[in-house]
Amino acid sequence: GTLRGLVATALKKNEDIVESLYDRILGRNTVHDVYHPHTGDLIVASGEQINEDIAAEIASSPIEEVEIRSVLTCEQKQGVCGKCYGRNLATGRKVQIGEAVGVIAAQSIGEPGTQLTLRTFHVGGVAGKITEESEIRAKYDGVLEIDELRTVKRKDRKGEDAEVVISRSTEMRIVDSNTGIVLTTSNIPYGAFFYAKGGKAIKKNDLICTWDPYNAVIISEFAGKLEFESIEENATYREEIDEQTGFAEKVIIESRDKKKNPTIRIMDPKGKEELKNYSLPVGAHIIVTEGQKVEAGDVLVKIPRSSGKGGDITGGLPRVTELFEARNPSNPAVVSEIDGIVSYGKIKRGNREIIVESRTGELKHYLVPLSKHILVQENDFIKAGSPLSDGAISPGDILNIQGPTRVQEYLVDEVQEVYRMQGVKINDKHFEVIVRQMMRKVEIEDPGDTKFLERQSVNKTEFMEENDGIFDKMVVTDAGDSSELRVGQMITLRKFRDENSALKRKDAKLVEAKSAQPATARTMLQGITRASLQTESFISAASFQETTKVLNEAAVNAKEDHLMGLKENVIVGHLIPAGTGLRSYQKMIVANKDEYQRLLAEKLEAQEIEE
């Protein structure tokens, strides 16, 4: 198959390295040759396994990512190939043919599950979150490049000049000044104090920006006078005493009256025209007063970041189940499907309409509830797949917008996150094996001239084979005077030419045909329960759940079971096709060489006698 890989990078949460590049590439096979960026020496050739020495060399070089072969991108029809799986973690050697990697994966994930069932298991409360990141420093010497930056000037907390970032999708890169290779990239959050200069050289450990780790903020983009709208006590806000400072703060609450939308307007200090308005989400703390004069860059509102992302992230086993069953989260974020510029529309029944317009002029409309914190401002440029409101992004959205590779990475990383919080180290490849099973099926969108039906779910391999099978075939549109062909029949190009040359000799009407259309499909993401019920083998599915339904379906469709997997062979009492039970080993005769020579000689003798 074509060689595709998964890009392995060091996993970071707020610049703290959660899992180093060394750990992620050890025992994997690379897709490409890997060269050292400074010397240009070959570190490892493509398709080779990365051992401890090579992994250490890559980790100590400035290389930030390596493309590795992964079970997720493996195109083996039955099982997975040894190169994509890499090292067998039980022996530390190359994985052997016939290893039951699926069983090993399920056991590796299931075993620590006993600790996850008590999900409060020693997880400290908020104390563990105090060390939130709040700054970006340069990790290398190089040139700083910045995209999509809008700032306003003001003084920071220490009274020094700084710029406040008011754009939402600011990206920074540090580029090697000699080679032009990008060394590192990261996002600069909205509301950060920005200290560096774009396009200028930067030294290692220089401060680039800092921000408030505990609060998301809304910042005034203009100087002016404030006007409040629909900010009414006990209707849209209530007073709360802040425990740390002792000050009373106005906190926005969910309003019963859907027409009331708490808003802060910034008015021109002289005239009466409005410069900008900001809708306030539920839970926002207002730290300005009505009629106050503000400067550009002043903080108007703080929205406390619930420790960790999203308030009610279920920890432990429920979260693992939610991911593996591919369920949609309880408060999903609204996600943009296209790259484009944001503009606000009207307010409809307590929802703010957000319009995203792409460069090609395509428009997409989204409705976001006003109680949610809207993460985009007017005229922001956002990328497909970025959330418009806060909340958890559903795996289905990631699949539809950013494609199968992204959703696979997301699932593996998110499940790993749960295990990591419990201090359990599990190799990525076990999760990959399971996620691969969740992504086995495709849903047919347009059947073309294949045997499939619309909206049918088919195995990926079967879909590919069918499309390859009709690759150079023709479909008869007009049979002409041919006695053999019918309209709609599928024939090879050769047969089509032969038939026509025969008809030409008789001066008869020729056959007309068009080339066969392949089917198109989209990848499906199924939970592990759905995926196991839709296996090829009906015996395996029947032993799992909904036995009568599975058996009825098998009987109606006259299904055959080829006994390829482990489960069905256990049920019928055969040797399982794994390890030494592999079918290719069963015809093998193990004997010593003299015996073998004697057998050969006897066979030859027998053949001579026959002849």
d(C-alpha 225, C-alpha 73), whole Å: 57
| Model pLDDT, residue 251 | 86
Mean pLDDT, the chain, integer: 83
Is residue 559 pLDDT above 80, yes or no? yes
- Is the Cα dihedral 309, 315, 320, 323 positive or negative? negative
Average pLDDT over every residue of 400-418: 88
pTM of the model: 0.74
* pLDDT tens-digit readout, 10-65: 776 655 667 788 888 899 999 989 888 878 889 999 989 999 999 999 888 888 88
- 3 state DSSP class of 34: strand
Read off the pLDDT of residues 132-168 as tens digits, 9 standing for 90 and up. 567 888 888 888 888 878 888 877 677 777 788 887 7
What per-residue confidence (pLDDT) applies to 143? 86
Q: What is the mean pLDDT of residues 519-534?
A: 89
Burial class of residue 556 (count of CB atoms within 10 Å of its CB; 0-12, 13-18, 19+): exposed
| pLDDT, tens only, 64-79 | 888 999 998 888 888 8
Q: Of 290, 218, 284, whose CA–CA distance to 254 is shortest? A: 284
Strand 161-165 to 193-194 pairing: antiparallel
Q: Is the pLDDT of residue 178 over 90?
A: no
pLDDT reading at 124 higher than 60: no
pLDDT the model gives residue 14: 53
Chain centroid to Cα 428, Å, comes to 14
According to the model, what pLDDT value does residue 551 have?
93
Identity of the highest mean pLDDT range in 295-299, 444-448, 544-548: 444-448
The pLDDT of residue 17 is 67
Q: With cut-offs at 50, 70 and 90, classify the pLDDT of residue 344.
A: confident
- How many Cβ atoms sit within 10 Å of the Cβ of residue 544? 13
How many angstroms separate the Cα of 592 from the Cα of each of 233, 595, 597, 603?
A: 93, 6, 9, 17
Contact 576, 567 (CB under 8 A): no
Give CA–CA dist 252/3, Å, rounded: 53
User: Tell me, what's the pLDDT at 309?
Assistant: 42
| pLDDT at residue 132 in the model | 56
Residue 571 confidence (pLDDT): 93
> Given the structure tokens 């939610």, which residue do they identify?
322
Cα separation of 43 and 183, whole Å?
Answer: 18
Task: Mention every residue, 6+ apart, whose C-beta is less than 8 A from residue 255.
Answer: 230, 235, 236, 262
Range of weakest confidence among 226-230, 242-246, 337-341, 554-558: 242-246
Tokens of 330: 């309880």
Question: Which whole number is the average pLDDT over 341-348?
Answer: 83
Our measurement of the distance from residue 391's CA atom to the centroid of its chain's CA atoms, rounded to an integer in Å, reads 16
Q: What is the DSSP string of 199-226?
A: TSEE-TT-EEEE--SSEEEEE-SS-EEE
CA gap 148, 123 in Å, rounded = 39
Q: Give residue 121's pLDDT band: very low, low, confident or very high (50, 70, 90).
A: very low
Task: Describe the strand order of the beta sheet including 520-523 as a list of residue ranges.
Answer: 457-459, 441-446, 520-523
DSSP calls for 148-200:
S--EEEEE-TTS-EEEEE--SSEEEEEE-TTT--EEEEEEEPTT-EE-S-TTS
Maximum mean pLDDT: which of 363-377, 408-422, 567-581:
567-581
Determine the average pLDDT of the residues in 188-203: 84
High-pLDDT (> 90) share of the chain, %: 18
The percentage of the chain sitting over the pLDDT mark of 70, rounded to a whole number, equals: 93
Please tell me which residue, 33 or 315, carries the higher pLDDT value. 33
Residue 548 has pLDDT above 90, yes or no: yes
- To 10 degrees, what angle do helices 404-421 and 316-324 make? 160
Among 40-49, 206-215, 440-449, 477-486, which is the least confidently predicted range? 206-215
Task: Check if the beta carbon of residue 211 is closer than 8 Å to that of residue 188.
Answer: no
Q: Which residues, at least 6 apart from 515, have a Cβ–Cβ distance to it below 8 Å?
A: 472, 473, 474, 475
* 3-state SS class at 136: strand
Which has more pLDDT, 370 or 607?
Answer: 607
In the predicted structure, residue 536 carries a pLDDT above the cut 90? no
What tens digit of pLDDT does each residue of 241-295 get? 877 777 778 888 877 776 777 888 888 877 677 788 787 878 888 888 888 888 8
State CA 320 to chain mean position distance: 16
pLDDT at 463 over 90: yes
Q: Is the pLDDT of residue 117 over 70?
A: no
Residue 430 has pLDDT above 90, yes or no: yes
pLDDT of residue 175: 84
Looking at residue 13, its pLDDT comes to 61
